[in-house]
Amino acid sequence: MDSYEVQVDRFAYGGEVFGRLPDGRAVFVPFALPDEKVRVRLVEEKRSYARAELLEVLEPAPERVEARCPHYGLCGGCHYQHMPYEMQLTAKREVLRDQLQRIGKLEAPNVLKTVPTPEPWNYRNHVQFHLTRQGKLGYHTHTTNKVFPIQECHLPEAPINELWPQLDIEVLPGLERIGLRIDAGENLMLMLESRDPKPPEFEVDLPISAVHLSAEDSRVLSGTYYQVMEILGRPFRVTAGAFFQVNNTVAEAMVQHILDMLPEFVPLSAHTVLLDVYCGVGLFSAFLAGRVGKLVGIEASPQACEDFVINLDEFDNVELFEAPAETVMPILDDEPDVILVDPPRAGLDTEVLDSIVELAPEVLVYVSCDPATLGRDAKRLTNAGFRLAQITPFDMFPQTYHIESISFWVNES
């Protein structure tokens, strides 16, 4: 297949950089930097654009740095190791603004500076591995779902990196992922995620907990079935299988940001009703419940709901619905002053967004982990009478293209 020399000029979502082919089509190139001249080979072609693999950097940008990891370029986990950290922060702000303008049709979104993480390496409290056919721990490659064995990874916290090379896990039918998570007390948990409800034979001579997770149930193989995370000095019980933010310091910054900024848009008092949608184990609810008259949580995960009840046990003004948000919100009796949403990457279901419009809160707080689906939802929110007051990107995932953000929407309808 032919190769092309291309001048790339700006960041695009997905860890790529945008350029033009000789025929005028847009081309998206991974592992490049703006203002570089590169040689590429096309791997996907459409009528108006193409995607390419990077063959060679012909004229490198002065900012380019050496990647720390020897797997970089092959591994699908990291996308930004070739740029200095300050440039990563700038890139994420630019990408977020671009998605809101192109997809969301917002003319001049108020995108604030990206909030950095204090340590852009070894920040993850949770990591998931796959197994090669030979039983080696690995990750998916950049372009396929094939698993390659790894020798090192610079994203997990140090105790996880010390543990995973010691694991010897047999390849079993149905075993899909191997998770490792560390909590506030540096207690480690091994999670075996499987399609097979029957747990495997298991022996461990390491001081860790181990849990077998399947669609039917979870079974403790060693130790306990939960860990205790800590955010801003507050403990959170997190059961195996329940979601929790992977970067503790950035999670703290996000919580503090909401606590600081929300009163700027709506007064919080004993008369305030707040709806926390996709509330999980109660990360945001636990800090907001004491500032409002009533807090209502909605969460579909049974494990997360069990944790939520324990994590917010001290509050008498909290209710929890264990059901999908699209089921609960259309039948709610409450009239919330504030709605906070923290959806998965797919963004807001149509039923959820329609319910937000119908419930008509004064303020919507949208915690997003995907700027593309946020852009789609932004367009719908704007058409429904909500105005984006401000949005702040948070670097929850350094070295990757993933962007966490918190936006405040004022209801002007």
Q: Give catalytic residue positions.
A: 369
Residue 165 DSSP label: G
Residue type, 29: V
Could you give the CA distance from residue 11 to residue 184 in angstroms, rounded to a whole number? Answer: 36
Residue 77: name the closest of 402, 405, 403, 404 by CA.
402
Show the tokens assigned to 140.
């998916």
Could you give the CA distance from residue 9 to residue 33 in angstroms, rounded to a whole number? Answer: 8
Could you give the CA distance from residue 156 to residue 238 in angstroms, rounded to a whole number? Answer: 18
3-state SS assignment for residue 307 = helix
Could you give the CA distance from residue 396 to residue 113 in angstroms, rounded to a whole number? Answer: 14
- Residue 220, phi-psi category: left (phi > 0), alpha (psi -120 to 50), beta (remainder): beta
Side by side, the strands of the sheet bearing 209-213 are: 147-149, 137-140, 126-131, 175-182, 188-194, 209-213, 218-222
Could you give the CA distance from residue 9 to residue 179 in angstroms, rounded to a whole number? Answer: 38
Could you give the CA distance from residue 352 to residue 359 in angstroms, rounded to a whole number? Answer: 10
Question: Which residue, chain included where needed, has tokens 């944790």?
Answer: 307
